[in-house]
Amino acid sequence: MVRIEPINETSPYLPEVNKLGDSNKATLGFFSKGAFEEKARNKQILVALSDHGEFMGYLMYRTVKSHNRISVIHLCIKDNYRGQGLARQLLDYLKSVTSQYRGIELRCRRDYGIDNMWSKLGFYAVYDKKAKTKGKLLTYWWLDYGHPNLLSLINDQKSESKLSIIIDYSIFQEIYLHNHSSKPQEEKGKDSKALLADWIEPNIEMWVTHEILNKINKINDYQKRKDIRDVFLGLSRINYTDKQYQKFLKSIESFIKLNDLPIDQSYIRHIAQSLASGINTILTKNVDILKLSDQFYEEFKVIIISPNDFIKRFDDIEQQKNYQSRLFAGIHSLKQLPIKLEEVNKLKHDLVNNCSEEEQQYFLENLRNFLFKKDTHECLIIKDEDNESVAIIVYNRSKRDQLEIPLMRISKHYLAETVVRYLLFTSISLSAQEGRQLTKITDKYLQDKIINIIQEYHFIETENELLKLNFSLIDTKKNIANQLTTLENSLLNSPSFFLNLSKTLKQNNLSREAILQIERYLFPLKIIDHDIYNFIIPIQPIWAANLFDKELAEQTLWGFSKIELGLNREAVYYKSKRSPKTLHPGISGRILWYVSSSSDKKDRGFYNIGCIRACSRLDEVIIDTPKELYRKYRHLGIYELSNLIQVANNDEYKEIMAIKFSDTESFKHPVSLKDVQEILENKTTFTSSTYINNEKFAIIYKQGMKGK
């Protein structure tokens, strides 16, 4: 057991530190006894001790307050304790006590031959300069803590509207290093350069990881190394916290070791940095890595793909960009908790530390004020399994007709955007369930990322607020149009949006697609006097529990008491092609989910099944082979390729059906099979999908939401 602790000038270990430093002065440089004492007096010497109190090594540092960083002066381990991970333990302790700084710098001679050690510890080589010893070079190494700064804010803006991809060193060379390649011109990577084509380049943002700097550092020629670094520093570089990087690094290393996969440490760091940044698409031409792409996706939901295949599949991958961060939801267990008053000051740093002083003051005053208004306000925080803050939201229920959100914030956590989508959809659903007509956001200091996501949920801007109409009713076009007109007249400073919707609903020639779009705008509204395709689709309890049914999920042994389930606003369900003729590719409509009862072992232990338990919007139907469907939709669900092959009766070339759905509402009063049979006036047991008309849909939906 190793113990790390700081020492002072009276410590019995200081002479040993002095002795070890002096015996290694050929590499560490001369440091006087008085200087050692001064550093100890400032508690800037950390020692590693065995469980018997034996001195094993030390780390000495200084604070560079003018640049808000830590500088390592010495890191030295006694010969008989080297190779035991003490350097990492000393460094980890240093990071834990200096987390308020930007990061750690150090300088090390290139000819010492320990560059790989610095790379493994998370540093990257930034530049070289001449050492005091003639003919020698010092390399400047940097370990960034990943706090928000101007660069990270610029990076956020770059990634908002484009598909972010990360390129590896080989592609970096082929695209940007024309003058540094020894290959003939015609052999240089044509497929890599295709990423710069006019049709694709405006739609992607290419990022590089810091590990590329460590690859560049291995180039022996000083001038070539300098020139290539200059090219690198002109590109978009990812940003991540060291804590997230270390977590992914540990997970990937364990995965590699468990599966005995042939991948070098440099590429492991490259992937870990990519995942820590929240970007999940990595381009490479490394054949050995590409062979492992399916395994990496199954474990980490990271897309590892060649430039050529990326271009072929660009449309599918581009559609997945809003789900990049959510792909990692399985790694972190998220929990939703009430905010405590004593947390407020810390939340200021976690959630608004890149904001102006005015915004911080607004945040503190308002959050404290909301916490004291317990009768009308509910203050919630989302945390990960390490108790790190991801997001907060405040609900104000002081008005009967609306659910107001006066405060919403996200941290730099890579799951933050995903959680915002969850919170917005949950808020709209909650508002409707409570019988309110409006969901209103009045926070005047919303972060840009939240504003961009809000636009996806059909909020409209009025004076100093964002408004979402959520009609929890099922009615005719005429009645809904009249309610919209009444609401328009009752709202001050309201836009003409509601009135225009009202006029649209009164038209006689509305298409089915237009009606479904209006239902999306006014979710959970249902329009019953228009020709909409409605289907009752049977689903096994285990898949209902995993895809949308929180109550069923909580019946399982592992439970889903936390919020991962709610992160899926959209999902996909797979079944055989056997269906009514009306359920075919190109169709959209509504789904009533009949959760079946069966003798299958994995369905045992569920209760309150054999009934219709939920309603969803049917967005898309696709028929293809398991492998093609998996690649297209794997970002949306919890299925693995093996599950899809089972649906195809273990024939990977047999076509099956994928049903993409969204905006699922769980029924408060599940409708039993007996009741459904009475409503449909037949004895069907729903062994396959069944088409029903609007009238029957309305009866089942009303009973499910409100009871008999």
CA dihedral (308, 312, 313, 319) in degrees, to 10, reads 110
Which pLDDT score, from 0 to 100, does residue 603 have? 58
Question: What is the Cα–Cα distance from 325 to 260, expressed in whole angstroms?
Answer: 27
Domain 532-706: top CATH class:
mainly beta
In terms of DSSP bridges, do strands 389-396 and 377-383 run parallel, antiparallel, or are they unpaired? antiparallel
Superfamily of domain 150-319: 5'-nuclease (3.40.50.1010)
Superfamily of domain 3-144: Gcn5-related N-acetyltransferase (GNAT) (3.40.630.30)
3-state helix, strand, coil in the chain (%, to 5): 45, 25, 35
* DSSP code of residue 339: P
Fold that domain 335-470 belongs to in CATH: Aminopeptidase (3.40.630)
Q: What is the mean pLDDT of residues 216-237?
A: 90
CB within 8 Å of 374: residues ≥ 6 apart = none
> Computed from CA positions of residues 171, 177, 180, 186, in that sequence, does the dihedral angle turn out positive or negative?
positive
Domain with CATH 3.40.630.30 in the chain: 3-144, 335-470
More confident position, 190 or 353: 190
Question: What is the Cα–Cα distance from 565 to 356, expressed in whole angstroms?
Answer: 35
The amino acid sitting at 211 is E
Which pLDDT score, from 0 to 100, does residue 484 have? 85
Question: What is the Cα–Cα distance from 286 to 305, expressed in whole angstroms?
Answer: 10
Per-range mean pLDDT, top range of 151-165, 177-191, 487-501? 487-501
Strand arrangement, sheet containing 236-237: 236-237, 204-208, 163-167, 281-283, 303-305
281-312 pLDDT per residue, tens: 999 998 888 988 888 888 888 889 999 989 88
Q: What is the mean pLDDT of residues 533-552?
A: 86
651-689 pLDDT per residue, tens: 989 999 999 999 899 898 999 999 999 999 988 888 889
Question: What is the Cα–Cα distance from 359 to 444, expressed in whole angstroms?
Answer: 9
- In the chain the first and final C-alpha atoms are separated, in Å, by 66
More confident position, 338 or 637: 338
Instruction: Report whether 177 contacts 231 (CB < 8 A).
Output: yes
Which pLDDT score, from 0 to 100, does residue 153 have? 45
CA atoms within 13 A on the CB side of 532: 27
The amino acid sitting at 329 is A
Q: Is the pLDDT of residue 558 over 50?
A: no
Which pLDDT score, from 0 to 100, does residue 561 have? 38
Which pLDDT score, from 0 to 100, does residue 326 have? 39
CB within 8 Å of 267: residues ≥ 6 apart = 168, 286, 289
Share of the chain above pLDDT 90, in %: 39
Which pLDDT score, from 0 to 100, does residue 333 have? 66
Instruction: Report whether 663 contacts 552 (CB < 8 A).
Output: no
452-481 pLDDT per residue, tens: 888 888 888 877 788 888 888 899 999 998
Q: Is the pLDDT of residue 644 over 60?
A: yes
Query: CA-based Rg of the chain, rounded to a whole angstrom?
Result: 29
pLDDT band at 521 (very low <50, low <70, confident <90, very high): confident
Instruction: Write out the H or E segment, with its range, that includes residue 22.
Output: helix 14-23
Q: What is the mean pLDDT of residues 375-401?
A: 91
pLDDT band at 268 (very low <50, low <70, confident <90, very high): very high
Q: Where are the alpha helices (DSSP H) in 471-583?
A: 477-490, 497-505, 512-521, 541-547, 550-553
Question: What is the Cα–Cα distance from 158 to 154, expressed in whole angstroms?
Answer: 6
Question: What is the Cα–Cα distance from 428 to 436, expressed in whole angstroms?
Answer: 9
* DSSP code of residue 415: T
Q: How many CB atoms lie within 10 A of CB 106?
A: 21
Q: How many CB atoms lie within 10 A of CB 317?
A: 23
Instruction: Write out the H or E segment, with its range, that includes residue 648.
Output: none
Q: What is the mean pLDDT of residues 16-41?
A: 88
pLDDT band at 185 (very low <50, low <70, confident <90, very high): very low
Domain with CATH 2.30.130.30 in the chain: 532-706
List the single range of 13-27, 190-204, 268-282 with lowest mean pLDDT: 190-204
What are the CA-CA distances from residue 239 to residues 278, 418, 533 (Å)? 9, 18, 46
Which pLDDT score, from 0 to 100, does residue 563 have? 46
Q: Is the pLDDT of residue 566 over 80?
A: no
Which pLDDT score, from 0 to 100, does residue 57 have? 95
Q: How many CB atoms lie within 10 A of CB 188?
A: 15
